[in-house]
Structure 1
Amino acid sequence: MTYEKYVKQSIFTPLSMTNTTIFNGPEKQSWGFIPVNETWFGASFGFEDIAGGFYSNTVDLLSFGTGILKNDLLDSVKTRKWMKPTTSTSSSGLLIGGPWEILRSNTVTKDKRLIEFYCKSGNLNSYNNILCLIPDYDIVVTILSGGPQSNADLVDLLLTKVVQGLLPAIEDAGKAEALPKFGGTYTDPTTNSTITLSLDDAPGFAVSEWVVRDVDIIRNYSKFGALSSSPKDRPVSIRLYPTNLGSGCHNAWRAVFDLGSPKESAEKDANSFWPDASCHTWASMDRTTYGFRSMDEWVFSLHDDGSARSIDLRTFKVELKKTA
């Protein structure tokens, strides 16, 4: 089939993009924004029409971005493969994908967490636009601009202001929703096991009072498995993160163990030639296991409203019910 027919059949129709056309402008010019002295509206780009011959609006572009994040166009495996970066650049804040311009920032949230923004910009004469996907938050941002004052720098500034205003508010709202659903104390009196989950300004849930069968897991963490050679008096910070993996009423989370005090981490960073040298949690997944089960794998059983009923610590083969 022709490229035009394929795009309409595979993208426009499934996502109900009824306000988007290809190769030609909308039937009614009043549906489009045409700046004074703009000569490219409705014009043909020849062989570049395949890339730049689309006419759309914010509603349809939001549908397009949402369709990508919801895997409506490709399955989840193909979507993740498509959105991986192809190469790095001379800027530590920019990676290049196909066709993504992947921005990376650790200045948006209170905890200075690294967040990636998958963007595709478009610039033609007095039209300057950007589509931005933020997978960590399931958010799509689209900015369409045109006219004498429109330029790429203006669009970048607008995206910055939107992100800086939107993400901290969403962070606070997300924590306010997550705390009553997952925060609190979980216990199993028969094994004398207990866990407390709480929220602070750091990412994820803070894990404290982790006791299993009378053993203080946090205090004894350095004695487990491959970490037995670590100094026994090093403090341990444990955070719990969702994985977005689940089945039915079960939802999988991962615990991340960070050894050392903030002062030790700062010294490590200061003495290393690369940034964030003390951050090695990316290499700690599944490091400590027992019976082929990872110590950092936790599974929540959920009520019908999505709130937690209990935690299954698969390594220790104990289930703790939420009590407070």
Structure 2
Amino acid sequence: MPSFTTSLVSISLALFGSVSAQSPHYCPLLGPVYPPPTNLSNDPTFATAIQDITSVLDDATNNGSLSETSISVQIFDASDAAPLLNFAYTADNINTTLGVSTVDQDTVFRVGSVSKLWTMVLLLIEEGLWPFQESVARFVPELHEAASKLQWDPRRRRDGINHLDWGEVSIRELASHMAGVARDYGVLDLAGMSSQMEQLGFPALAPSEIPPCGNPDPCSREQFFNGLLQSHPIVPTSSTPVYSNAAFQILAYALETMTGQSYEVLLQRDIITPLGLNGTYYKTPNISLGVVPNDSGEYWWNFDLGDEGPAGGIFSSTRDMATLGQAILGSSLFPKSITRRWMKPVTHTSSLDYSVGAPWEIVSFGDERPIDIYSKAGDIGAYSSIIALSPDHNVGFTVLAAGADGHAKVALAADLISAKLIPGLEESAKDQATARFEGTYAASNGTNSSIEITTDDGPGLLVTSWINNGTNMIQSMMTLGHAQDPSTFSIRLYPTGLESPGQISFRALMPPTLSTFGNGPFTSSCITWVVVDGQVYGNVGIDEFVFNVDEMGIVNSILPRVLRTTLSKT
């Protein structure tokens, strides 16, 4: 019977072992192919990207599609308090009597549904991830009562079209829009414009069918649940993502039960005060702090969401949004293990490059490998916003906007920024990795042992020569991998994210470098993740490498750990 290791090699050969050499397909692991770039504010490669971003934003605001929208943009690095870019544009069509006359990084905007991100951060600070699998009915009495009544009514329990079983709705499903619950109750219900609706052919509503709140007055908790529990389910739980504001109102109620504190108190205590935020508010601040579009800006500034505030009611500035983004990337508010588990997709959408988290909207860039950007966008009337984080680079950006058609304008700005930012970050990471790791490493004990590392057009650190006691280890690795053609074989090192004091961990991937695997997903998908640590010698993976660094982070040696040796940089 073949060993498991042999089976892994066979799988690798079956999937990597044919076809021609056009542009190589390297199949790195998910995640960064170089350590995240640092000191970007002084990086000449990245400075070019910032100049390009500034130029495209100048063109879009002065002459293009963003010219009628006031925006504030900040690009930030998790390890640098100073912003990498501040950009602000003040449109002509604003009310300077009520609000600011010039937009800057401290101008306050409504951030709409980006409030959901603040709500999730509060939940993680207070409770961590343990509640995710719990039924929300455990923490919300109104839902517990509804779930209990459903269990005692077999007819309604079988009626899945009209009745939602709240006992099966988890905190995680609410947080990731997978609960199948109604989008809202009362807020902006079209019953508020019944005469226009009747002219469009809709029937007149009986008084009992018209929500008593939400337009314009916010619903009380009692009114909210009385209406929501009569709303029809949208889809079964955990079947497909369907956006819901009501889900985050319920999450806030659950959080208040867990903590015994109001949402407003938690926001101030857990985020605003520790991060030193001066431009973030839960209750409507003085309008003089904000930018107010002439078209309905005052109305939307003062629009009261009541208890739906945790879903869309927060006010903030780009300075404060960037500070929150830095805290998330740097895990300064909760442990890194929680950050890693949280910043993962929960479900696909029907777009292959767009997934959903809790509450992340995750977009993927790149052809050779996916670069996932964890974002959250929001809209409320005349105000739109987005925050976007790249964990691969420890960098993010935020865009706040005020004006007509804000969602489309913010999405355009995010596209314009990303098109320059992501390639710039990739290039900076590669340049810094080249300067830091490239070179020849050799044994100091007189044995014929050395390794040469560089970078090329492919990803990761490339091993171009590797000798151990006179033996060509690249050829040895080809023999172990049953590879025949040296031109299709490479050893590339990728960072694992594991670090110890004075050490950085990498793993090598050694599949044949081939251009085409097959025509369908079973044959064309990258499965390099299956073969990592697939061959071990004395309980050490042949693919494990560790770099030693000094207190300044300068690389001085490498350990190919399977060889039980240290090679010093020459």
Output the CA distance in 2 between the equivalents of 1:82 and 1:172: 27
Higher Rg: 2
- Report what 1:183 is aligned to: 438
Residue 144 in 1 paired to residue 400 in 2?
A: yes
Gaps of 5+ in 2: 1-260
- The one-letter amino acid paired with 2:502 is C
Aligned sequence identity (%): 34
Q: Are residues 1:25 and 2:284 paired? A: yes
Corresponding position of 2:560: 313
Tell me the amino acid that sits aligned with residue 278 of structure 2: T
1:156 corresponds to which of 408, 411, 429:
411
What residue is the counterpart of 2:506 in the other structure?
253
Unaligned residue ranges in structure 1 (runs of 5+): none
Separation (CA, whole Å) in 1 of partners of 2:361 and 2:415? 15
Separation in 1, partners of 2:391, 2:464: 29
**1:242 touches 1:252 (CA, 8 Å); kept in 2?**
yes
Q: 1:49 to 1:276 in 2, by over 3 A?
A: farther
Aligned residues: 306
Partner of 1:215: 471
Q: Which runs of 4+ in 1 moved over 6 A?
A: none
Is the 2:383–2:403 contact (alpha carbons within 8 Å) kept by the matching residues of 1?
yes
Matched, 1:287 2:534: yes
CA contact 1:241–1:254 (8 Å) conserved in 2: yes
| Partner Cα distance (1:162, 1:8) in 2 | 31
What root-mean-square deviation, in Å, do the aligned CA atoms of Structure 1 and Structure 2 show?
Answer: 1.8
C-alpha distance in structure 2 between counterparts of 1:308 and 1:157, whole Å: 41
Is the Cα–Cα contact under 8 Å of residues 483 and 489 in structure 2 kept in the other structure? no
Cα drift, residue 171 of structure 1: 2.5
Amino acid at match of 1:159: A
Contact 2:363 2:372 in 1 (8 A): yes
Shift of 1:276: 7.9
Q: Name the structure where strand makes up a greater proportion of residues.
A: 1
Render the CA deviation track for 1:35-75: whole Å, top value 9, x for unaligned: 11221213311231122110001000001011011111221
Q: 2:356 is matched with which residue?
A: 96
Taking the aligned partners of 2:501 and 2:383, their CA distance within structure 1 comes to: 46
What is the Cα deviation at residue 201 of structure 1?
2.5
Matched to 2:443, the amino acid is: D
The answer to whether the 8 A contact 1:218-1:236 is kept is no
Partners in 2 of 1:60 and 1:74 — Cα distance? 18
Q: Aligned equivalents of 1:68 and 1:202: distance in 2?
A: 30
Q: CA deviation at 1:258?
A: 2.0
- Aligned twin of 1:169: 424
| Larger relative contact order (CA 8 Å, sep ≥ 6) | 2
Instruction: Give the corresponding residue for 2:148.
Output: none
Greater helix share, 1 or 2?
A: 2
CA contact (8 A) 2:459 2:492 kept: yes
1:73 aligned residue (310, 333, 336): 333
Q: Hey, what's the Cα distance between the residues in 2 that align with 1:222 and 1:202?
A: 19
What is the CA–CA distance in structure 1 between the aligned matches of 2:458 and 2:277, rounded to whole Å? Answer: 39
1:258 aligned partner, one-letter code:
P
Q: Distance in 2 between matches of 1:16 and 1:25?
A: 19
Mapped to 2, the partners of 1:163 and 1:29 lie a distance apart of 32
Q: What one-letter code is carried by the residue in structure 1 that aligns with 2:290?
A: G
Q: Is the 8 A contact 2:287 2:301 kept in 1?
A: no
Tell whether 2:322 aligns with 1:62. yes
Tell me, in whole angstroms, the C-alpha distance in 2 between the residues paired with 1:139 and 1:281: 27
Whole-angstrom CA distance in 2 between matches of 1:93 and 1:315: 38
- When normalised by structure 2's length, the TM-score is 0.52
Per the normalisation by structure 1, the TM-score is 0.89
